């Protein structure tokens, strides 16, 4: 049995639109902040990196929702990917890891 058997996957719930909308708003929040303050200075590379990181969380949620596994395993996949993304984001922001 393959790891990702889409024929037996649960139907997609209505959480997809709010999830991807929230991730898009997180990426666009600095653009709004740049309009009101000079302290936020992002360029295209910063937005691209944020989009890749938020996309990673979104894809992890999509894959976890389609896995024929129990809910705690799916939750661990989402939590693990979110913690990984937050660690990478924090390191990129202030250089935690050398």
pLDDT digits (tens, 9 = 90+) for 10-58: 555 677 888 899 999 999 999 999 999 988 888 899 999 999 999 999 9
Contact criterion met (CB below 8 Å) for 19 and 81? no
Q: How many alpha carbons lie under 13 Å from residue 60 in its C-beta half-sphere? A: 20
pTM, to two decimals: 0.75
């Amino acid at each position: 049995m393959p790891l990702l058997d889409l024929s037996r996957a649960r139907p997609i719930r209505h959480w997809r639109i709010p999830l991807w909308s929230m991730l898009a708003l997180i990426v666009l929040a600095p653009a709004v902040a740049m309009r009101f303050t000079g302290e936020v200075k992002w360029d295209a590379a910063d937005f691209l990196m944020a989009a890749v990181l938020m996309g990673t969380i979104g894809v992890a949620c999509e894959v976890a929702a389609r896995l024929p596994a129990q809910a705690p395993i799916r939750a661990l996949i989402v939590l693990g990917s979110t913690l990984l993304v937050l660690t990478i984001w924090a390191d990129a922001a202030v250089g935690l890891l050398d």
